[in-house]
Structure 1
Amino acid sequence: MRLRKYLFVIGFLFVPVTLYVVFVIAPYVQAFQISMTSWRGIGAPKWIGFENYRKLLDDGSFWKAVEHHGVLLVALPLITLGIALFFAFLLNVGGRASGGVRRGVWGSKFYRVVFFFPQVLAVAIVAVLFQTVYRPNESGLINGVLMKLGLDPVLFLIKPGLALWSIIGVLVWQAVGFYVVLFSAGMANIPGEIYEAAEVDGASRVVLFFRITLPLLWDTLQVAWVYLGIAAFDAFAIVNVLSVDSGGPDGATTVLAVEIYRNAFTYQKYGYASALGVALFFLTITFAALALRVTKRESIEY
């Protein structure tokens, strides 16, 4: 009987596990293998051991990209989750109580659709859209208004100190709607009696948020933080389309995915690009493991 159960489970798992090994695990292993070679995409690779990794440690572009990922890892989750939590709270329990049940603000169902709309758009479309928003002349959405008011245009994507933050703004705009919906689903599972009891004790909305909503949403918040951290290690499409000269100006917005693309398809250094990819893989895995470890806490039952 037990043998039949194991055979049944293996039968169901065999195909998906095989596909995962072939299309996910095998490419990672192959990337590590290529990273140990000097290869231009044609001909036989030349084995050079860890030379690409030694070169990587002395590469200023690599460390600049890592620095930018550090900024993204802090700014993107904090800003996105802060905005998403605020709006989700308003849409679910920020309105007046009706029949003893606290509801969201007026029109909350419509606002959920509006917030989620950026998720419907492809990443490339979002990047092209914000190219129009950030244009440094009168044809730009923002600078067109500023120039009509007699103000100087803002060089969002040209000024090195502002370019990365302009791109972070796009990433936040694109991501916040998904997390509003995610947190709304979590808040919908919190019993209304808890809010009602707290209000009877005189709790304000600020107290409701920090003492009830936030602790009971901690597991969802933890997962969201990891997702956004992984997104911070990617950001290739937005940076590649929006930035000046793919990661510029002067490397002010470069990320590891852009460096991988440049080394592989511009310089034909596939071995070095693979080494960068392996480094990105381990950085992402390390962040996810640390984030889950640091934010781990006991679940609250209700």
Structure 2
Amino acid sequence: MKKARGRSGFLAVCIAPAVILFFVFMILPTLNVFRMSLFEKGAYSPNETFVGLKNFKTLISDTNFIRSMQNMILLIVVVTIVTFAFALVFAGILSREQIRGQNFFRIIFYIPNILSVVVIAGIFSAIYKPENGMLNSIIGLFHKMENPILWKGESLVIVSLIIAMIWQAIGYYMVMYMASMASVPKSLYESAGLDGAGRLVQFFQITIPLIWTNIRTTLTFFIISTINMAFLFVKAMTSGGPNGASEVSLSYMYGQKDAGLYGYSMAIGVVIFIFSFALSALVNKVTEREPLEF
């Protein structure tokens, strides 16, 4: 009994610092965001005025906030689908096909992930430059343009952000899926081949089901991280412009805080928190299935 108590006490002492830090720097700030969303306060004023749900009622009719949420949801959906589709396809090709320089391709695909968002934003801003950017220059070789294409204009800015975010993320998830696919026994593919199953059928009937647990985990992680990544790319590439066309909810929240509407920005933070939590739960529920063993 004494030995068990001593062990429990030792474990409690070991985990206490982590629990305290988590509570102080995560739980308390989160609770304070919920509290501040019920108050009206200027960013530099110590005075607080309780307004209840007024900030949330204002959000419902705020067209700029609604537009920023629509942009964020669009980025989450498109970037997630395209990134995971390409990551799985590239991982499948490099894992099963005998291609020279496989390690070279792994490194090349992974490099964007180790670059900072600021560097990637600078690269793509140069590519999208209307006058002498690489993209317009390449198009100009095949088609004469009277006016340069404004890749960061209102109509194309979201597409430009999507391309940059996909380019940054594909390599990381491709490498993760290659590691999972390496654990799938080759005998399963050989048996399927003898039964007449082609590579495409094997990919969807063997590879995907056997690495589904990894796909599910990374999918949830990626969707939530995209909310933050979208904000970083917007701040680094467009600052929400032009005319708010690329504004996402987090950048809009920071904009309201900088404008002095501290309580209102906290209300936006609460909505984003609830949205991300609900989205995580939904994705986990939709992707739930019995794990396959081999």
Checking the alignment, whether the CA contact within 8 Å between 2:117 and 2:236 is kept in structure 1 is no
- d(CA) in 1 for partners of 2:245 and 2:33? 27
Show the counterpart of 1:110: 104
1:149 CA displacement: 4.2
Deviations 1:138-184 (A, max 9, x none): 2x1111222344532321111x2321111011110000010001101
Q: Which amino acid aligns with 1:253?
A: S
Contact 1:119–1:175 at 8 Å: present in 2 too? yes
Superposed, 1:117-136 pairs within 5 Å as: 117-136=111-130
Task: Provide Cα deviations, 1:256-296, integer angstroms capped at 9, x if missing partner.
Answer: 1110111112x111111111111111100000011001110
* Other-structure match for 2:248: 255
Q: TM-score, normalised by structure 2?
A: 0.94
251-260 vs 79-88, greater mean Cα deviation: 251-260
> Is residue 2:272 matched to residue 1:280?
yes
Please give the alpha-carbon distance, in whole angstroms, between the structure 2 residues aligned to 1:192 and 1:124: 42
Q: What CA deviation, in whole Å up to 9, does each residue of 1:115-157 have, x standing for no partner? A: 000011011111111100111112x111122234453232111
Q: Deviations over 1:242-267 (max 9, x none)?
A: 22xx22223221111110111112x1
Q: Is the 8 A contact 1:36 1:50 kept in 2?
A: yes
Structure 2 Cα separation of the partners of residues 132 and 145 of structure 1: 13
Give the counterpart letter for 1:260 in structure 2.
M
Where in structure 1 are there 5+ consecutive unaligned residues? 96-104
Q: Distance in 1 between matches of 2:139 and 2:276?
A: 40
Matched, 1:204 2:207: no
SS in 1 for 2:155: helix
What TM-score, normalized by structure 1, do the two folds share? Answer: 0.91
Q: Please name the residue that 2:158 is paired with.
A: 164
- Aligned AA for 1:146? I
Q: Is the aligned partner of 1:229 residue 2:223? A: yes
The structure 2 residue matched to 1:24, chosen from 26, 39, 60, is 26
Matched residue of 2:150: which SS?
A: coil
CA distance in 2, matches of 1:226, 1:74: 12
Q: Output aligned runs, 1:79-90, within 5 Å.
A: 79-90=82-93
* Aligned-partner Cα distance in 1 for 2:233–2:102: 30
Whole-angstrom CA distance in 2 between matches of 1:232 and 1:35: 24
Q: Does structure 2 retain, via aligned residues, the 8 Å contact 1:76–1:228?
A: no
Q: Is the 8 A contact 1:131 1:242 kept in 2?
A: yes
C-alpha contact (below 8 Å) 1:73/1:232 kept by paired residues: yes
Cα-Cα RMSD: 1.4
Answer whether contact 1:94 1:205 (CA < 8 A) is retained: no
In structure 2, list runs of 5 or more residues that go unmatched.
none
**Secondary structure in 2 aligned to 1:268?**
coil
Give percent identity, aligned residues only: 32
- The correspondence for 2:78, drawn from 67, 75, 80, is 75
Equivalent AA in structure 1 for residue 108 of structure 2: V
* Matched residue type, 1:155: L
1:39 maps to 41
1:295 matched to 2:287? The reply is: yes
**What secondary structure, in the 3-state scheme, does the structure 2 residue paired with 1:251 have?**
coil
Structure 2 counterpart of 1:99: none
Partner of 1:9: 11
Q: For the residues of structure 2 that align with 1:223 and 1:260, how far apart are their CA atoms?
A: 28
- Determine whether 1:155 maps to 2:147: no
Counterpart residue identity of residue 273, structure 2: F
Partner residue of 1:242? 237
How far 1:5 sits from its partner (Å)?
3.0
* Deviation larger for 217-226 or 41-50: 41-50
Give the Cα–Cα distance (whole angstroms) in 2 for the partners of residues 156 and 109 of structure 1. Answer: 34
The question of 1:61 aligning with 2:64 is answered yes
3-state SS in 2 of match to 1:85: helix
Q: Distance in 2 between matches of 1:275 and 1:214?
A: 40
SS of 1:233's equivalent in the other structure is: helix
Residues 150 and 193 (structure 1), Cα distance of their counterparts in 2 relative to 1, 3 Å cut: closer
TM-superposed deviation, 1:9: 2.2
Letter in 2 for 1:236: F
